[in-house]
Structure 1
């Protein structure tokens, strides 16, 4: 059996309204924080994972070529010093 006391009914309505308002404020604060973070991070130079992996592969190939060239130079130096 529900109470028909208008004071209690008004209090319940007030509590429900306050809970809804707090939830809305929380959502708005979270969205604002996300937007500010996006703005702050937007000025930074980030690369995608694909770009990073491509440059990493290029560096590995360059290292291999340098090793081959160093070996050739060492062999040529050995020939000329004989």
Structure 2
């Protein structure tokens, strides 16, 4: 009799494990489908991706730094030119 009860419990445990695995698989499929749909929707909104934004941001920072350096060079050259003119 104990063997029968243990067998039923083992079968029940196996069934629950299989059900949990199936539920996890379904969850992953739903997440994948949701992410794909969300990406399609975002692509229609003309929104830039974070990676693209970061690249452009870095380019803007570099351009600003170069602009500041060029402005400093121009000021130094104008100062030098003004000193020669006196």
TM-score w.r.t. the length of structure 2 is 0.52
Unaligned runs of 5+ in 2: 43-48, 76-86
- Greater shift, 34-43 or 60-69, is seen at 60-69
- Answer 1 or 2: which has greater helix percent: 2
Moved over 4 A (4+): 45-48, 65-69
- For 1:41, the equivalent position in structure 2 comes to 35
Unaligned runs of 5+ in 1: 1-6, 76-82
Secondary structure, counterpart of 2:29 in structure 1: helix
Deviations 1:41-66 (A, max 9, x none): 12325555xx454x232232344466
Give 1:33 deviation, angstroms.
0.8
How well do the aligned residues superpose, as a CA RMSD in angstroms?
Answer: 3.3
